[in-house]
Amino acid sequence: MKVLRTPDRCFEGLADYPFEPNYTTILAADGTELRIHHLDEGPRDGPIVLCMHGQPAWSYLYRKMIPLLVDKGMRVIAPDLVGYGKSDKPGARENYSYQNQVDWMTAWLNENDFTGVTFFGQDWGGLIGLRMIVEAPDRFDRVVISNTGLPYNPDMPEEEARRVRKFRDTGPTPTLFQMGAALQRVDLDGPKAFAYWQKWCWGTEDMPIGFIMSTGQGELSQASIAFRYMLSRLGLTKLRPSTPLGKAYEAPFPGPEYKMGPRAMPMQVPMLPDDPSAEAQRKAWEFYSKFEKPFLCAFTDDDPVTRGSDAPFIDLVPGTKGLPHETIRGGGHFVQEQQPHKLVDLITTLIRTTQ
């Protein structure tokens, strides 16, 4: 396995990220060494809160929540997924299977011997983290999730699945604006709309991660976004980040060759009945149908990609019963950026009331 490592100089001078790095080396299935980075902040004897990010972010996403959690006596562990942040970055598309990410992060978890963990996951952080809990349930005491899921669609009509496959295999790569419009309709149009995100990510070799993250947080006006996009379409410039936040999210990816993880992983979301992860997802749902530890949902009201995805958990997971699940207003998809105080209050209240 070819592995890239982002030079340390790329992370110098990041705004609001004063945290010391920690590294763990694990072995991939083929014997390749992978170095995984994580943050470890707060008292060593405090309750552990494991915060896992999704695609295309990294542990920088938790910079607002970490000091708030530490002030409440929590020990915060925030890893970078393989392919992201300061963690190693395998260089091939086939390296980034869902199962590989679960195996790599479970190996990291076991190597660090974390126990008594309260898990928080959003986006791919939830997809991977919820499967880690299945693999190592004794290490976890409670779960909080936001804007994520455990995709499993065994009953999707074959005709719908065929249309999605055809679009992903032979359809043109959508433009940035076509992709954005489709994402706004995921909760209405389902897998075909999400396939626009999958197709755009894979078809965009130099994926403008910092630009996407900064625009998603409202740092650029719509007029500025449209103007810069027009210039990029004319070949006059590239969609490079222009704000401190955008530059921070772009920092792990100094060139297109470092972006294989963010490009490849959306295609690994198991949307179709014949997905390679379908059986593992079925077993995970069977596991959670008997999961009695506290399990809190804190989704947002304005994320069309995951809106309503909390309902299956609340309906099925015994550990959700009697807990104050909350729909967070105005949190967007990356709720850690928009509503960090609310998330911290929900997490710490759950820990305090279920010890």
Place of tokens 């952080």: 125
**Tokens coding 276:** 């390679």
303 carries an active-site annotation: yes
> Do 147 and 267 contact (CB within 8 A), yes or no?
no
* 178: Cα separation from own chain's centroid: 22
CB burial of 93-102 (b: ≥16 within 10 Å; e: otherwise) equals eebbbbebbb
30 carries an active-site annotation: no
Catalytic residue among 80, 123, 275, 310: 123
CB atoms within 10 A of CB 53: 26
What secondary structure letter does DSSP report for 171?
A: S
What element of type H or E holds 146? Answer: strand 140-146
Task: Identify residue 156 by its one-letter amino acid code.
Answer: M
d(CA 163, CA 182): 15
SS (H, E, C) 239-258: CCCCCHHHHHHHCCCCCHHH
Catalytic residue among 303, 315, 341, 345: 303
d(CA 248, CA 20): 16
Residues with a known catalytic role: 123, 303, 333
